[in-house]
Amino acid sequence: MSAANASIPVAILGVTGYAGEIALRILLSHPRFTVVHAGSDRLGGQKVADAAPSFAGETDLVMSPDTPEAIRASGAKAVILAKKSPEVTKVVPELLKAGLKLVDIGAEFRLHDHAAYKKWYGDDHACPELLPTAVYGLSEVHTDAIRSASVVGNPGCFATTVILPLVPLLKAGLIDLAAPLVSVSYSGLSGAGKRHIESNNNLFYAVNENLHSYKAVGHQHTGEIDQELSLAAGIPVHCSFVPHLAPITRGIHSTITVTVKPGVTQEQVVGAWNAAYGKRPFVRIRKTPKDVEVANTTGTNFIDIAAALDGRTLIIASVEDNLVKGASGQAIQNLNLMFGLDESMGLLRRGM
C-alpha cells in the first residue's frame, strides 16, 4: 500500500456506548481508517464482541483502558472521544502533545467560551485553554476550519438539525431577527444514552405509547445553537428550543419556525440552501415538509430538510439519525476532512 493510501490508525474512547458502537461499525468497513484501540475503563481485557454480541464474527478487538499510555501504545493517529464524562477530557492535552487529532462526540469542545461552558454544563472545563481554538464540527458549515483542526467538537444531535438549515438563511439576511426563533424537536430513545436519566424519564415504560418534553427551557444544546446562529447572523441570536422524547429508537425530527423579512419567497429560501449545500453529499433538500421523515434517514449520514411559507412564517422540517449524522457518522465525516480524505468516504451506505 502506498503512503498516500496507507491505513490511518484510530482509537475509540468509550467503545461500548451507543456512539462508540456506531463509530466502530462504520470504521470496521472504512477504506482508510483502522481501529487500533477499543477503549473501555470498565471492560478492559474483554473482547468487544463479548460485550456487544452484534460484533461477533466482525472483529477480534480486545478492549483496553482509556489511558494516554494505552492510546499511545496502540499507535493511533486519531481519537474519537465517544464518552460524555468530562473526566475523560483530562487525557486530551497529553494526546494532542503526542500529535494525535481528536473528534469529541461529547459536549466538551462545542462551546468556545469557558463561561458559556460553565453556564450550560454547570462545571469547570478540564482544559479550558483548548476551547477557543477547538472547531465546532458541523461539517457543512465549518469545512475549511475542520480540515486544519487538531480538536473538533462534534455538534449535538438536536443542534445539527436546527443549526444546519438556519445558517444559510441567516447569512443571506432572510430572517427577521426581531421575531422569535423556535425549534420543537423530537428524539428517539437512544438519544438519551444507555443509562436511565431520571430528569429525562427515559425508561421504556415512560416512552412507549407516550410523548413528552423535557428541559423545555435551558437544555444544554441551546448554548451551541445560539453560539452558531449568532456567528452566522453577526449579532446575538437566541432560539427557543424544546426537546421531546418520542417512542422510537433512533432519529430526530425538528420543526423550526422563524419569521422571514417582508418580500422573502420560498424560492429564496431554497436558493440559499442550494448555494450552501447543493454540492454536499449528505444534505438532501426535499420539496415539502411532508417529504421529511425520520425513517428516510435511519442508519444513514443524511440530513433531510424542507420548508413551507405561511405568510411570513417559515416552517422548516429537519430530520436525521441521531446516532449517525447526529453523532458518530458526522464524527467520521469530520475525521475524513481532517485527514484530507473525501468527506463521504465510508459513509455512503445504509444500515450504520
pLDDT, tens digit, for every residue of 272-291?
999 999 999 999 999 999 99
Q: What's 80's domain CATH number?
A: 3.40.50.720
Q: Is residue 56 part of a domain?
A: yes
347 is a domain residue = no
| Burial class of residue 179 (count of CB atoms within 10 Å of its CB; 0-12, 13-18, 19+) | middle
351: in domain:
no
**Mean per-residue pLDDT, 317-335:** 98
Lowest mean pLDDT among 40-44, 203-207, 251-255: 203-207
Same-domain pairing of 306 and 270 = yes
pLDDT per residue as tens digits for the range 169-178: 999 999 999 9
Q: Is residue 240 part of a domain?
A: yes
Q: Is residue 4 predicted with pLDDT exceeding 70?
A: no
- 189 and 253 inside one domain: yes
Q: Are 79 and 23 in contact (CB under 8 A)?
A: no
Residue 120's closest CA among 35, 25, 221, 189? 221
Residues 227, 315, single domain; the answer is: yes
24 with 141, same domain: the answer is yes
pLDDT of residue 79: 97
Indicate if 96 and 67 belong to the same structural domain.
Answer: yes
260 falls within a domain:
yes
Tens digit of pLDDT for each residue in 55-64?
999 999 999 9
197 and 295 share a domain?
Answer: yes
Domain that holds residue 243: 157-322
Rg (CA), the chain: 20
* Residue 192 predicted with pLDDT over 80: no
Q: Are residues 260 and 126 in the same domain?
A: no
Q: How far apart are CA 191 and CA 310, in angstroms?
A: 31
Give the mean pLDDT of the chain.
93
Whether 80 contacts 333, CB under 8 Å: no
Which grid cell is 157?
Answer: 444531535
Beta strand 212-213 with 239-245 is antiparallel
pTM: 0.94
Residue 266: inside a domain: yes
Instruction: Count up the domains in the chain and report the number.
Output: 2
Would you say residue 2 has pLDDT above 60? no
The Cα–Cα gap between 339 and 196 comes to 36
Residue 341 scores a pLDDT above 80: yes
On whether both 143 and 191 belong to a single domain, the answer is no
CATH of the domain at 195: 3.30.360.10
- Kindly report which listed range (78-92, 99-113, 257-271, 290-304) carries the lowest average pLDDT score: 78-92
Which of 88, 78, 91, 85 shows the shortest CA–CA distance to 36? 78
Q: Do residue 243 and residue 330 come from a single domain?
A: no
Residues 129-133: contacts with CB under 8 Å, at least 24 apart: 130/92, 130/93, 130/96
Look at residue 1 and tell me whether its pLDDT is greater than 60.
no
Decide if pLDDT at 204 tops 90.
no
Same domain, 166 and 219: yes
More confident position, 349 or 224:
224
Instruction: Evaluate whether residue 309 is within a structural domain.
Output: yes
- Whether the Cβ atoms of residue 261 and residue 175 lie closer than 8 Å to each other: yes
Residues 68-109 pLDDT 10s: 999 999 999 999 999 876 677 888 999 999 999 999 998 999
pLDDT confidence bin for 329, thresholds 50/70/90: very high
Q: Is residue 220 part of a domain?
A: yes
Residue with cell 459513509: 347
The verdict on 140 and 180 lying in the same domain is: no
Same domain, 94 and 217: no
Torsion of CA 107, 109, 114, 117, to 10 degrees: -10
Write out the catalytic residue numbers. 157
Helix axes 266-277, 157-171, angle to 10 degrees: 110
